[in-house]
Amino acid sequence: KIKNLKKEVKIGIVGKYFKTGDYVLADSYLSVIEAVKHASWAFDMKPSITWLSSDDYEKEPDKLTELSNFDGVIVPGGFGKNGVEGKILAIKYLREKNIPFLGLGYGMQLATIEFARNIANIKNATTEEIDDKADNLIFHSTNEIKKLNHKQMRLGAHSCIISKNTKAYEAYKSQNVSERHRHKYQFNDRYLKRLEENGLIISGISSDNKFIEIVELFNHKFFVGTQFHPEFKSRPQQPHPLFLKFIASSLS
């Protein structure tokens, strides 16, 4: 079936681990790539995946218009400061142009920060990972994180409660799910009310009510960010529900 697919779905992946000299390191996000394939095949589509450098968007913002060439765009996980502003510019473009967006891990955090800056007007909103001295830390380290082992990271499978009447619930068709995590910082509850009042939807929260797991936007084709990494649970004959919903939205 895979070998005979003709129709393509064009997916962009915005990252910073792709390039070394003249080479592209596709395996940097291997699990994300495979999850896109699984979901695309389920719709009898051949995924055409393009690597997009967030560093390029920082240096040449005019290049952001190339994002309109894709059916959907993913901003995957990562660590550190490099390329972050380029990712935020890309997320802003995707939000404003109503292009399906899926943010994974750090991608979810940066989507929330972009919303905080440009919709909720929280000046210089950022994350402790970028600037631990900043005034408006939308994501920060907390006692809950610091109590964890593994160098203060939240790792492994954790349960999540999904709100009904959301894109996430449409994907999972369940209110109780378990997903795998790998992150050092969590959402700063100090900003929760202001972001929700401006339209950010918190569609998933940890079962212990301590961690925000999924954010999304209502008036958008598909704009979903997950603190966890759904790509880790995708399989060739069992595509992950969120990737299925993302690809479905990209085809609509």
Residues 6+ apart with CB under 8 A from 37: 47, 236
Q: Tell me the pTM.
A: 0.90
What is the average pLDDT across 212-232? 95
CA distance 192 to 71: 31
Contact status, residue 67 vs residue 93, Cβ threshold 8 Å: yes
- Token pair for 223: 């704009």
DSSP state of 116: H
Q: List pLDDT tens digits, range 1-32.
A: 899 999 999 999 998 655 545 555 556 688 99
Count of CB atoms situated within 10 Å of the CB of 124? 11
Question: Lowest-confidence range among 31-40, 62-71, 77-86, 155-164?
Answer: 77-86
- pLDDT number for residue 24: 52
Distance of CA 77 to the CA centre of its chain: 7
Q: Which residue has the tokens 């060739």?
A: 236
pLDDT tens readout for residues 122-179: 999 999 988 888 899 999 886 665 555 555 677 778 899 999 999 999 999 999 999 8
Arithmetic mean of pLDDT, 219-243? 95
Q: Is it the case that residue 82 has pLDDT exceeding 90? A: no
Cβ within 8 Å of residue 42, ≥6 positions away? 239, 244, 247
What's the pLDDT score for residue 181?
79
Among 39-43, 49-53, 217-221, the least confident range = 49-53
Instruction: State the chain's mean pLDDT as an integer.
Output: 90
Q: Span 213-221, mean pLDDT?
A: 96
